[in-house]
Amino acid sequence: MLSARSLFREIFDNDESFRLFCSIAASGETQGGWENGRIAALVPESQRPLAAKIARHGADEDKHGRIFNALLRKRGLEPVEIPHGTDYTMLLERHGIGLAHDKLRADEPLTEQDVITYLAHSRVTEQRAADQMHMLRKHFGDDPEVGRAVQMICNDEDNHLAYCHEELLRFAHAGHGRAIQRTLRECALVEIGVHRDVGLAVMERMGRILGWSPTRARTLAAGIHSLHGFERMGGWRRMVSLKMPQRRDALGGPAASAPEFA
């Protein structure tokens, strides 16, 4: 029977597919760390108290990249080049989601609207990350090889999501509510398409590595298309709602270290 657990068990048990999975994850997390670091450095003076939280977000993402690379090293594996079509962060930028890298490479301060755009982009993508990590924690939280990594990253993603809710609500109360909802909706509708395309590209590559039959490959592709159809019909709304989180000031301190993955 095909299930999320059996699918990821198969991927994790094969060195080459595990290598691809961790390489893609590490690349995305490291890219997110760089983006957050640049945003923290360019936050406008009116929002300087937010800079430390954005920097903490970036430090967490960098840590996640190191964790995935450490999982590779434990098996004696090196990262692989990210295949075309599997780079989630690059494809989001190409579709105009978030802040352009050209803007982040410049030394001009960001505007408050730029910060709102960043937070809205993070609200959507952190929902995706949190959903995926909760699924992995459910099935692999006690796994001797990846369990500790999954639990640590899952907790961090919950913190990131809580922080996005809290900060966006702060901006909404300051009069930016309509702009926030518009930006969230635009971002979510693009993200679900990018997620589908990346999912298809990753599964196509995994299928080649693991020798999946055409029938199994078509079944997995159909599942990805089905999820996209559900999200397109209204499932995307879970990615744009805002409510005050139970975890308040979730990024108010230093990033937790991960010495066991060093």
For each of the chain's 262 residues, which pLDDT tens digit applies? 578 899 999 999 999 999 999 999 999 999 999 999 999 999 999 999 999 999 999 999 999 999 999 999 999 999 999 998 999 999 999 999 999 999 999 989 999 999 999 999 999 999 999 999 999 999 999 999 999 999 999 999 999 999 999 999 999 999 999 999 999 999 999 999 999 999 999 999 999 999 999 999 999 999 999 999 999 999 999 999 999 999 999 998 776 777 666 5
Q: Is residue 249 part of a domain?
A: no
Its domain, for residue 229, covers 4-242
Tell me the whole-structure pTM to 2 decimals. Answer: 0.94
- Helix, strand, coil shares of the chain, percent, nearest 5, are 75, 0, 25
Q: Is residue 252 part of a domain?
A: no
Q: Is residue 262 part of a domain?
A: no
Q: Is residue 250 part of a domain?
A: no
Q: Is residue 259 part of a domain?
A: no
How many domains, the chain? 1
**What CATH number is associated with residue 92?**
1.20.1260.10
Q: Is residue 247 part of a domain?
A: no
Q: Is residue 23 part of a domain?
A: yes
| The residue count for the chain | 262
**Distance of alpha carbon 127 from alpha carbon 240, whole angstroms:** 9
Q: Is residue 107 part of a domain?
A: yes
